[in-house]
Amino acid sequence: MSRVYLDNAATTKIRPEALDAMNAAYNEYANPSSVHHEGQSARKALENARESIASVLHCDPSEGYFTSGGTEADNWAVSFSGDVGEGKRHIITSSIEHPAVLSACKRKESEGFRVTYLPVDRYGSVSADDLERAISDDTALVSVMMVNNEIGTIEPIIKLSEIAHAYGAIFHTDAVQAVGSLPVDFSDLHVDLLSFSSHKFYGPYGAGGLLVRKGLKIPSFLVGGSQEYGHRAGTENLPGIIGMAEALRLDASEMDEHIGQLLSLKNLLIGLLRESCPQVVFHGDADISHPGILNLYVPGMDGEKMLLLLDYEGFAISGGAACSSKDHVVSHVLSAIGSSKEEAGNSLRISIGKYNDESDIRAFVSAFSTLLKKNS
């Protein structure tokens, strides 16, 4: 049985060009920190990858720091709150952030920081007015994600960062769901910190990064070595980084086509679902959202049962964020936008990617509507 993968917000299939680049990179077996010829060859390959990524994201290569992925980058970003200025002990984030940010903020609370969790409207959007009311001269860090991983809402990052800077706070955005899927320009966003992760844009697992605005004081996240300008110790994952750079380079060259493809398939999905299941409820902002993410609920549907039945029929989707799928907890994102416990606990996320086509969407809706009728 052929399977249809519609869980691209959890992870994407690595593109063959990135895999080829990684396989070639294994010939650069030396440690990039070594001074001999082989080591310096590996160092050159590492810095070429850094420059390639910087070119796509419109930043200086020196502003890019490699990490193991988005979770590490988010944790590192939140740690900046202790290095902004003496006496600043306040952090602001949103109530719908990725657990990597929320958990890091909780840890900061245990260290004596005060954390404000901004509400969102029914579409999942953070209000600039709410940030204005919450921020003060005591605020060290504001962290708001660029694209929500469960419902796809795109946040007004430029406006929010302007408010943060007016009060002397630094601004971080978790752009894990944005980089590779949407145009991201670090210089135009006016943010101080930006997280990204390779496996969200058809690159390998275990590679990601944190962009840090030039001139910002950087707390060392891992110690014990001089890698990443002395701020993130440990031998770099050279094949993973090279694969990530190649995936991002190619994604950028195909961006317009890719967005058009996702929007076309998403609109088809919405239309077919409305025809077959008129009672379907869609979450998030229909207009200002990720082109490939759709979160839905059908009254009376058992979300977990539907997820398993669809998997048996050959369709891979998600009951929410992959990072919390084993915890069997109600989505904090859907709760924040006003969904009932019943709705938040039984919603499904379909996320479309570059390897999907119209036949995948039609087959999914056919299976979904059939299963819904049989199990309602």
Residue pLDDT, tens place only, 93-111: 999 999 999 999 999 999 9
Q: pLDDT band for position 235 (50/70/90)?
A: confident
> What pLDDT is attached to residue 27?
86
CATH number, residue 230: 3.40.640.10
Q: pLDDT band for position 326 (50/70/90)?
A: low
Out of 224, 253, 282, a domain closes at 253
Query: Rounded CA gap, 50 and 57, in Å?
Result: 11
Which two tokens mark 261? Answer: 């493809």
Q: pLDDT band for position 322 (50/70/90)?
A: low
Q: Indicate if 348 and 230 belong to the same structural domain.
A: no
> What pLDDT is attached to residue 226?
82
Q: Indicate if 222 and 267 belong to the same structural domain.
A: no
Q: Indicate if 166 and 292 belong to the same structural domain.
A: no
Are 140 and 89 a contacting pair, CB within 8 Å? yes
> What pLDDT is attached to residue 85?
65
- Read off the DSSP letter of residue 79: H
CATH number, residue 318: 3.90.1150.10
**DSSP characters for 281-312?**
EEES-SSSB-TTEEEEE-TT--HHHHHHHHHH
Nearest Cα neighbor of 179 from 206, 214, 147, 207 is 147
Q: pLDDT band for position 233 (50/70/90)?
A: confident
Q: Indicate if 182 and 300 belong to the same structural domain.
A: no
Helices (H), the chain: 16-25, 37-57, 70-79, 99-110, 128-134, 157-166, 186-189, 227-230, 238-253, 255-276, 303-312, 332-336, 341-345, 358-374
Contacts of 287 by beta carbon, 8 Å cutoff, 6+ apart: none
Query: Rounded CA gap, 237 and 172, in Å?
Result: 24
Across the range 210-233, mean pLDDT stands at 89
Across the range 265-279, mean pLDDT stands at 97
Q: Indicate if 259 and 248 belong to the same structural domain.
A: no
Share the mean pLDDT of the chain: 94
Q: Indicate if 295 and 362 belong to the same structural domain.
A: yes
Out of 236, 253, 270, a domain closes at 253
> What pLDDT is attached to residue 294?
98
- pLDDT score of 190 more than 60: yes
Across the range 117-133, mean pLDDT stands at 98
Are 192 and 203 a contacting pair, CB within 8 Å? no
Nearest Cα neighbor of 294 from 283, 280, 307, 306 is 283
Over residues 157-188, the pLDDT tens digits come to 999 999 999 999 999 999 999 999 999 999 99
Of 53-57, 83-87, 127-131, which range is least confident? Answer: 83-87
Are 68 and 208 a contacting pair, CB within 8 Å? yes
Q: pLDDT band for position 219 (50/70/90)?
A: confident
Across the range 113-132, mean pLDDT stands at 98
Q: Indicate if 169 and 68 belong to the same structural domain.
A: yes
Q: Indicate if 135 and 240 belong to the same structural domain.
A: yes
Q: pLDDT band for position 292 (50/70/90)?
A: very high
Classify 171 as helix, strand or coil: strand
Which two tokens mark 30? Answer: 């030396």
Query: Rounded CA gap, 157 and 4, in Å?
Result: 34
Query: Rounded CA gap, 65 and 219, in Å?
Result: 12
Domain containing residue 110? 16-253
> What pLDDT is attached to residue 327?
53
Are 374 and 316 a contacting pair, CB within 8 Å? no
Across the range 266-271, mean pLDDT stands at 98
Q: Indicate if 196 and 293 belong to the same structural domain.
A: no
- Count Cα atoms within 13 angstroms, Cβ side, for 64: 26
Are 241 and 104 a contacting pair, CB within 8 Å? no
Domain count, the chain: 2
Q: Indicate if 123 and 180 belong to the same structural domain.
A: yes
What pTM does this model have? Answer: 0.95
Over residues 11-26, the pLDDT tens digits come to 999 999 999 999 999 9
Q: pLDDT band for position 49 (50/70/90)?
A: very high
Residues forming the active site: 323
> What pLDDT is attached to residue 328?
58
Q: Indicate if 197 and 155 belong to the same structural domain.
A: yes
Out of 253, 283, 298, a domain closes at 253
Q: Indicate if 276 and 193 belong to the same structural domain.
A: no
Over residues 135-158, the pLDDT tens digits come to 999 999 999 999 999 999 999 999
Over residues 361-371, the pLDDT tens digits come to 999 999 999 99
Phi, psi for 130 (deg, rounded to 5): -65, -40
